[in-house]
């Protein structure tokens, strides 16, 4: 049954407002990190923001916001070619909002300890960037490259950010000092960790392998209690040579304790393996961002 035209338009308008809100909130947090901590401490940042800060430190009369805006112009051609029109338009809006935020949001955070400054800046920037990437767009810069690599090669957002910024760290070492480069490294690492938590966080899926003689009861419990699908493989014990049934299922982070409790109750001797997943495609269990 199709949704009435009026409701469809209202839903689309609400989604646009929600995505712009996410981008604005994330840009605000990121701008607090840039102007409140990074600039006073003379740290660099991740991606194009780091490049813009480096140029600003060398040429103080040039605005960080305007440098960031100009650096993004050629990159948006890639966003249009590889990602798609919707992501491009939201990212264009995100880049403009982020530029305005960096230019206008100045909230001083007076922290003398440089390690604490790097940690707090990483938390703000990681949370801000993650919130932006929870929308249908990005703030431009390396965010676009990160999403492209995630879609094409399943490389995590944090890994792309950390790898790319080795160039930024080298620039910090050469043009600032080794000490500044090391503080920037701490900041970038914290940013990448917080970013992954915000984007995947509790939505991360767990892949579970189960070997048990009670496999029928466990399989039925997974389907009836957790409402998750189960795949059954034929296996053979390497030592015993005995035929075994191997259950495979994917559950959410929140469902994992319930699954383990159920399995332990049915068969305390069950052999169970839990592994992390980077991303999962599927109608009911998928956790891919809508980029």
Among 270, 140, 157, 274, smallest CA distance to 209 is for 274
Mean pLDDT on 249-276: 90
Select the more confidently predicted residue: 64 or 134.
Answer: 64
230-243: pLDDT as tens digits: 999 999 888 888 88
Residue 222's pLDDT is 92
- The answer on 75 and 156 residing in a single domain is yes
CA 234 to CA 162: how far, in whole Å?
41
Residue 6's pLDDT is 58
- The answer on 216 and 160 residing in a single domain is no
Three-class DSSP labels, the chain: CCCCHHHHHHHHHHHHHHHHHHHHHHHHHHHHHHHHHHHHHCCCCCHHHHHHHHHHHHCCCCCHHHHHHHHHHHHHHHHHHHCCHHHHHHHHHHHHHHHHHHHHCCCCCCCCCHHHHHHHHHHHHHHHHHHHHCCCCCCCCHHHHHHHHHHHHCCCHHHHHHHHCHHHHHHHHHHCCHHHHHHHHHHHHHHHHHHHHHHCHHHCEEEEEEECCCHHHHHHHHHHHHCCCCEEEEEECCCCCCEEEEEEEEEECCCHHHHHHHHHHHCCCCEEEEEECCCCCCCCCCCCCCC
Mean pLDDT on 19-44: 93
- The answer on 36 and 159 residing in a single domain is yes
- The answer on 187 and 215 residing in a single domain is no
Residue 45 lies in a domain: yes
- The answer on 107 and 163 residing in a single domain is yes
Overall number of domains in the chain: 2
Residue 122's pLDDT is 94
Give the rounded percent of residues in the chain with a pLDDT score beyond 90.
41
Among 224, 218, 281, 262, smallest CA distance to 232 is for 218
Q: Are 226 and 255 in contact (CB under 8 A)?
A: yes
Which CATH number covers residue 235? 3.30.70.120
Residue 282 lies in a domain: no
Out of 149, 165, 199, pick the residue that ends a domain: 199
Residue 1's pLDDT is 47
Among 19-23, 44-48, 223-227, 286-290, the minimum mean pLDDT is found in 286-290
| Tokens standing for residue 135 | 């929308």
Residue 289 lies in a domain: no
Q: Note down the domain range covering 19.
A: 5-199
Residue 285 lies in a domain: no
Residue 196's pLDDT is 80
In terms of Cβ atoms closer than 10 Å to its own Cβ (0-12, 13-18, 19+), residue 34 is buried
Band (197; pLDDT cuts 50, 70, 90): confident
Average pLDDT, the chain: 85
Indicate whether 38 pLDDT > 90.
yes
Give the rounded percent of residues in the chain with a pLDDT score beyond 70.
89
Residue 290 lies in a domain: no
Indicate whether 153 pLDDT > 80.
no
Residue 284 lies in a domain: no
- The answer on 150 and 32 residing in a single domain is yes
41-63: pLDDT as tens digits: 989 887 889 989 999 998 989 99
- The answer on 151 and 24 residing in a single domain is yes
Q: Which of 7-16, 138-147, 230-239 is the most confident on average? A: 230-239
Residue 158's pLDDT is 64
Residue 155's pLDDT is 79
Residue 32's pLDDT is 95
Select the more confidently predicted residue: 191 or 151.
Answer: 191
Indicate whether 223 pLDDT > 70.
yes
- The answer on 219 and 91 residing in a single domain is no
Residue 236 lies in a domain: yes
Indicate whether 181 pLDDT > 80.
yes
Q: Which of 29-33, 56-60, 203-207 is the most confident on average? A: 29-33
Out of 148, 171, 199, pick the residue that ends a domain: 199
Residue 291 lies in a domain: no
- The answer on 247 and 129 residing in a single domain is no
- The answer on 248 and 136 residing in a single domain is no
Mean pLDDT on 257-261: 91
- The answer on 116 and 42 residing in a single domain is yes
- The answer on 164 and 221 residing in a single domain is no
Mean pLDDT on 112-141: 90
Indicate whether 124 pLDDT > 70.
yes
| Tokens standing for residue 105 | 């949001």
In terms of Cβ atoms closer than 10 Å to its own Cβ (0-12, 13-18, 19+), residue 268 is exposed
Among 2-16, 22-36, 93-107, the minimum mean pLDDT is found in 2-16
Out of 199, 216, 232, pick the residue that ends a domain: 199
Band (253; pLDDT cuts 50, 70, 90): confident
């Amino acid at each position: 049954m199709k949704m009435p035209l009026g409701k469809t338009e209202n839903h689309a308008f609400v989604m646009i407002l929600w995505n712009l809100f996410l981008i604005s909130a994330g840009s605000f947090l990121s701008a607090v990190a840039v102007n409140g901590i990074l600039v006073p401490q003379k740290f660099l940042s991740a991606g194009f923001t780091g490049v813009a800060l480096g140029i600003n430190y060398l040429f103080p009369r040039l605005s960080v916001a305007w440098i960031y805006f100009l650096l993004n112009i050629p990159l948006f051609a890639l966003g249009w070619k590889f990602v798609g029109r919707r992501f491009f338009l939201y990212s264009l809006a995100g880049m403009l909002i982020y530029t305005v935020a960096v230019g206008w949001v100045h909230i001083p955070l007076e922290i003398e300890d440089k390690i604490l400054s790097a940690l707090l800046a990483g938390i703000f920037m990681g949370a801000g960037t993650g919130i932006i990437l929870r929308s249908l767009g990005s703030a431009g810069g390396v965010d676009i490259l990160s999403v492209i690599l995630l879609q094409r090669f399943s490389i995590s957002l944090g890994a792309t950010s950390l790898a790319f910024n080795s160039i930024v760290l080298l620039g910090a070492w050469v043009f600032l000092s080794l000490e500044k480069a090391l503080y920037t490294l701490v900041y970038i690492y914290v940013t990448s960790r917080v970013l992954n938590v915000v984007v995947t966080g509790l939505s991360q899926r767990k892949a579970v392998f189960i070997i048990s003689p009670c496999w029928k009861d466990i399989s039925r419990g997974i389907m009836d209690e957790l409402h998750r699908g189960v795949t059954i493989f034929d296996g053979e014990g390497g030592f015993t040579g005995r035929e075994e049934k191997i259950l495979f299922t994917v559950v959410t982070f929140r469902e994992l304790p319930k699954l383990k409790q159920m399995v332990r109750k049915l068969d305390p001797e069950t052999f169970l393996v839990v592994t992390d997943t980077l991303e999962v495609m599927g109608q009911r269990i998928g956790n891919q961002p809508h980029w």
